[in-house]
Chains A and B, each alone.
Chain A
């Protein structure tokens, strides 16, 4: 299954269960300039279940984005991946709270989580709270989180090639978002303030 959810437009599930051999690829879009929240629990309950979860937000104004995910490996032999990319500009507030839980005996688990944000304004705030809670030993789990800003070197490089500053910034943001952006149909780009 490959699903695209736009927060505030689509009915968004709160609890998903993936049994043996089931898989889900889901992408969540947080439209710009509106408050949006996601509170999602995914239980992997049978061997071979696979979850591929992604989310993207581009906060431009004073919106609040609140993301809470709980991915629970209740059976062994499952895979999960969570990939979030976003930008906080204006006076926006972003909070990411993501848990990967691996139950006792859920051996041969593979779980990844990554949440990277760009902070573009003095008045914006980003808080990420990634968590790994692991009770089985034969696992490969990792998470990464980063909050940073646009690279001045990159920007200069592009400008020195004649790309106007504003366009260069847009390109930088696009490149930062691209791992998730590439999962969206072009028709969805305008939701997050990109025209193409």
Chain B
């Protein structure tokens, strides 16, 4: 079986191509000057420039966090290009650059409304971000008819400055942590979404992030606001070319959920993970946080993490509104030399708030995979409840699986329960499948998909199929 397991972990990353497109850059390095330049290119208002500069000053005084169970390479922040965008003709073309169209076609991302309307692709509106800019956002008009704003962050700054100003950094303050501060200083583009009161978004919304240029980082910013009683399902995907050097991705996602609103946020993270020797790959250092602000609001996080050389990510929820609820469903698969330190924080402030955490870690090859979580019951969280279940599956004897949940309870009317298990992939299950004629690699893939099913079935249909395939591909070469 060892041989067979080895075969399955030789990984193929089919999104690793580079698009040959002319790009414009700001010079390498980070300074006030660079930040002013980015802000100027984007023709931003003064308040936003001030926000960036304030964040930059905070960042300069901060040091990178070291508490993760990660061995991070030294990042030279002066050796990164903070803004790269495909060049456009002087007057903005109505049609998207054919090369970019081709890129997203190849990635299977429906950036043409026609395809979707023809029923070729499932009905979803897409904001496609290529390096530092959003290249297109589909179905804006259809959505606008319902009062829904779905556009690139830059457009939101221009067209809805009052909304952006009201909510930006209201969940993740500029100085929240080292990487969030960096993002606040240099963020380039991302998605903005506002669902008005009582509106149920008629289609899934999604952002697709593509890193293309070398020597750059991607620092996108996503802001989702679901006003009272509204509903939206949001999906996020990402890929990058195969390169020998690391590339930095430091995003911030903020979600505001008002009373009675319901937001489902799903991620399938497939950044380039590096090669089987651990060379290259994306350093995925992101801050995602939502606030269930109003009574009865609901936020659900679902993530499938298979990519990136390093993942440092804790989508979290502040449960402020009474009777609000949140879930975190996660599958994190690491192979070869990947490292993941991921989990969630559930901060219970309101009465009768509920949270549920289901985490499934899968480690193969030489990888290290950690679940890190915090569940906090503040003294006012009477009647609050949390349940966490964190399972780890080990494939092969050279990897590690770790669980670091912290529970703090200050409320005698709150209940927190945590359970975790760690075990290796079952030889009995493998043999059973082998006896039925299923070869070892396929058997591992079936078992892992079954193990992750509770999380996968939370994803929107098309995403779930994609995620299943990704798990299988990511496991290639892991059977040993």
> A133 within 8 Å of B by Cβ?
yes
> Whole-angstrom distance from the CB of B374 to the nearest CB of chain A?
10
Chain A residues lying within 8 Å of B402, measured Cβ to Cβ, are 131-134
A95 — nearest CB in chain B belongs to which residue?
A: B408
Selected contact of A131 from candidates B404, B410, B423, CB within 8 Å: B404
**CA–CA, A132 and B363, complex, Å:** 14
In angstroms, how far is the closest chain B Cβ from the Cβ of A72? 14
Interface size of A as a range = 20 to 34
Q: A61: shortest Cβ distance to chain B, in Å? A: 16
Q: How far is the CA of A88 from the CA of B423 in the complex (A)?
A: 33
Residue B170 lies at the interface, judged by CB distance under 8 Å to chain A: no
A133 contacts which chain B residues (CB < 8 A)? Answer: 69, 400, 402
Interface code B357-401, partner A: CB below 8 Å = 1, 0 otherwise? Answer: 000000000000000000001010000000000001011111111
Task: Known A125-B409, A132-B403; judge A146-B420 contact (CB<8 A).
Answer: no
CA distance A105 to B185 in the complex (A): 45
Chain B 13-40 residues near chain A, CB threshold 8 A: none
Interface residues in B, total, Cβ within 8 A: 35
Closest B residue by C-beta to A143: B420
Contact across chains for B412 and A119 when beta carbons are under 8 A apart? yes
What residues of B have a CB within 8 angstroms of the CB of A135 in the complex? 399-400
Whether A154 is near chain B, meaning CB under 8 Å from some CB there, is no
A17 on the interface (CB 8 Å rule)?
no
Rounded to whole angstroms, the CA-CA distance of A137 and B363 in the bound complex is: 9
- Least CB distance from A154 to B in Å reads 14
Contact A127 B408 (CB under 8 A): yes
Cα A122 to Cα B325 in complex, Å, equals 23
Q: Is the CB of A146 within 8 A of B416?
A: yes
A141-B423 contact, Cβ under 8 Å, with A134-B392, A148-B417, A149-B415: yes
Bound together, the chains give a CA A139 to CA B408 distance in angstroms of 28
Is B424 part of the binding interface, using a Cβ–Cβ cutoff of 8 Å?
Answer: yes
- Contact string, B399-443, partner A, CB cutoff 8 A, digits 1/0? 111111111111111111111111110000000000000000000
Using Cβ atoms and an 8 Å threshold, which residues of chain B touch A129?
A: 404-407
B480: nearest residue on chain A (CB-CB)? A137
With a CB–CB cut-off of 8 A, which chain A residues contact B415? 146-149
Is A145 an interface residue when CB atoms closer than 8 A count as contact? yes
Of chain A, the residue at the smallest CB distance from B389 is: A144
Q: Is the CB of A139 within 8 A of B412?
A: no
* B interface residues (Cβ-Cβ under 8 A, vs A): 69, 377, 379, 392, 394-424
Interface residues of A (CB under 8 A from B): 104-105, 107, 117, 119-122, 124-149
24 A-B contacts (beta carbon < 8 Å): A105-B397, A107-B397, A117-B409, A119-B412, A121-B412, A122-B411, A122-B412, A127-B406, A129-B406, A134-B392, A134-B402, A136-B397, A137-B396, A137-B399, A139-B394, A139-B424, A140-B421, A140-B422, A142-B419, A142-B422, A144-B417, A144-B419, A148-B414, A149-B415
